[in-house]
A and B are shown apart, each in its own frame.
Chain A
Amino acid sequence: MDAAPHALRIQSTGVRSAPPVGSASKRPHVTIRGLSKRFDKAVIYDNFDLDIPRGELISVFGPNGCGKSTLINMIAGLIPPDAGEILFDGMRLAEIKFGYVFQNYREALFPWMRAFDNIAYPLKMMKVEKAQRRARTERLVARLGIKLDLNLYPYQMSGGQQQLVSIMRALVVEPEILFLDEPFSALDYEMTLFMREQLQKLFLESGTTMVLVSHDLEEAVYLADRVLLLSRHPAQVADFTLVGVARPRTDATLSDPEFVRLKAHCLDVFQREVRRT
């Protein structure tokens, strides 16, 4: 493989790409250097570098099996990398607060706890006092303005409501970074549209750095500040497309010329990567 420039510098035409990311205003939040991972014979990542900017929502998109989920799972410590370093403002994962939202909310929530206690559970792990846990959870609910009956058990809620509870559970610790692994792909289309709005609201409200894996290009572009397009494995950054469309984005955004152009651009890059053998 090409030794000299690392993946970050592979740039694409037309759209401004990063990194090095917005070096003037923002320090990178997450720095990934020399990341390598293989499953049996398949090399998923080989000396992969990436900077994730602070306070942005990054969508990860790429061909099937290219390692989108593997990437966030390695960043979030669910899968150990074979080699490489991942730092958050120079700190290790164990030193920071983070949240993770699974695709399968049904299996990620605890069915023996009411929604409220599910949301408060991470605080218990942080050894927060019971009264404090209650107060902080209530504060989060109030701040997000989500109208849900949190006295219900997860199995009494719709899929979208359960995933909202999952997201709130991830947010309650006031994470510095939030990982979402295809959070809406188990939901029907109507619910997906609603959840996109909810997530955008939560993002604007909290300003937390978010890394979202998506298998839906429209969703990836719609939600993102930047779309991280990965190549087939061993995955490289095919493009890191800046999505400069104003927020809050709405249904009208979907027909906004700039949005359409960016989506077409991402599709081009994606197709190019898919066709590459």
Chain B
Amino acid sequence: MKSNRFEGLLPLVGVAGLLLVWFVVTWQQWVDPVLLPSPMATFRALWIGMNGGVLGFDFVKTIYRTATSTLIAAVIAIPLGIVLGSSEKLYRSLEFVIDFFRSTPASAMFPLFLVLFGVGDETKISVAAFGAILVILFNVAYGVMNARKTRLLAAKVMGASRLRVLFDVMLLESLPQTFVGLRNGVSLALVIIVVAEMFIGSQDGLGHSVFEAQQLFEMPRMYAAIFAAGALGYGLNLLFLVIERRYVHWTGK
């Protein structure tokens, strides 16, 4: 019984352990301090950077790009996925194409998109959206296709029209799987955006921040930017989980 009170703190054990190892390693100078700065130096850089520093600005830029690409992807992929999922023939005929491009690394599309959109934000956002679209599309279509047959029959027996069945049953049935797609989509979008910010003539963003700090050998700042990117990825995932718990309360029930 006594242990219950502390169970909520268990995730912190790993964090504390990691910080301790990190601290000892840098304190004993087992690793070149240039390669691995101390936790204190790193968190100082993170604090300064996020409090009115450049890192905060880069953080917001990356959020903006990731959010925009995910939003575009969702707006395109969800309706398409519903259409695709509600017609097995249509899905079958497009399955290979979707699977193929889903398996293609989105980063391989950069040169093409550079030609199409130039070196601005459009390229980064559109490549990330491209990657996210396929992930979301696949999941939504899958969710619609796997709507419980009994539930569809039940709606039909109660006199629901095809359109009604689509909106009242299929759409809601597909929501849990749609959220799986959205979570994977936003994660992929973030990966693509950060990579794009590193290498595609970017002046800002977390990817740029990591890359620039590394080039200037400002290691605490580089680690700080990595942590900021990690926190962003984790936070976005958590955000979708919270939204899902709130609105798709029947998931897994």
Contact = CB atoms under 8 A, between A and B. Distances in A.
Interface of A: 76-78, 100, 102, 104, 107-112, 121-122, 125-126, 153, 155, 169
B250 interface: yes
B166 to A, nearest CB: 14
Contact of B172 (A100, A102, A107, A110): A110
B152 to A, nearest CB: 10
A214 to B, nearest CB: 19
A153 B250 contact: yes
Contacts of A121: 158
Given A110-B169, A112-B250, A153-B250, A125 B153 contact: no
Nearest to A78: B153
Interface of B: 148-151, 153-154, 156-160, 164, 168-169, 172, 175, 248-250, 253
A111 B153 contact: no
Nearest to A97: B159
Contacts of B253: 111, 153, 155
A107 B148 contact: yes
B150 A104 contact: yes
Nearest to B161: A125
Contacts of B248: 112
6 contacts: A76-B157, A107-B151, A108-B153, A109-B154, A112-B248, A153-B250
Given A125-B164, A155-B250, A107 B150 contact: yes
B160 A102 contact: no
Contacts of B151: 107-108, 110
Contacts of B249: 112, 153
Nearest to A107: B150
A102 B157 CA distance: 11
B158 A122 contact: yes
B150 A125 contact: no
Given A102-B150, A102-B153, A102-B154, A111 B159 contact: no
B171 to A, nearest CB: 10
A77 B159 CA distance: 11
A108 B169 CA distance: 11
What 4 A-B pairs are tightest by C-beta distance, nearest first? A111-B250, A155-B253, A107-B150, A125-B159
Nearest to A100: B157
A126 B159 contact: yes
Contacts of A78: 153, 156-157
